[in-house]
């Protein structure tokens, strides 16, 4: 999961299937869509977002940005770094409510077991659905 603080991103699917989504800044709700060849998806500027291949074949997409210097912040590094603090635990809890263990696993490369352990630790549901 990552953000581009200086630009919106548009993604056009050339082949394959993707799951893509972003998290609202106002409600912390996850908006997730399944995308196929020919679909276009817009990630608003500065919002946490992700995309990953959901098919059994190669998936290819083209991305473009509203700024030649969109910036990049990868959430797992920004949030967890070397240590957990009260602030990062609170931020994790905000988006842990709406994302499944599988989605967090595929977008952060944290193992499903570790995601479930962290969800339990921070008081979130650890149901792996």
Are residues 4 and 70 in contact, defined by beta-carbon separation less than 8 angstroms?
yes
The binding site for oxalate consists of 4, 9
- Quote the CA–CA distance of 42 and 2 in Å, as a whole number: 14
Residues 6+ apart with CB under 8 A from 11: 18, 20, 35, 40, 41, 42, 43, 51, 61, 62, 63
The binding site consists of 2, 4, 9, 49
Residue length of the chain: 129
The binding site for Mn(2+) consists of 2, 4, 9, 49
Are residues 94 and 47 in contact, defined by beta-carbon separation less than 8 angstroms?
no
């Amino acid at each position: 999961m990552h953000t581009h603080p200086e630009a919106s991103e548009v993604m056009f699917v050339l082949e394959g299937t993707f799951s893509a989504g972003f998290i609202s800044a106002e409600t912390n709700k996850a908006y997730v869509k399944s995308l196929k060849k020919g679909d276009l998806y817009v990630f608003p500027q500065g919002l946490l977002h992700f995309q990953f291949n959901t098919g059994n074949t190669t998936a290819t997409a083209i991305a473009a940005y509203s700024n030649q210097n969109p910036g990049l912040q990868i959430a797992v590094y920004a949030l967890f770094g070397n240590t957990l603090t009260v602030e990062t635990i609170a931020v994790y809890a905000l988006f842990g409510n709406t994302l499944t263990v599988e989605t967090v696993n595929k977008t952060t490369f944290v193992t499903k077991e570790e995601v479930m352990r962290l969800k339990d630790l921070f008081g979130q549901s650890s149901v792996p659905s």
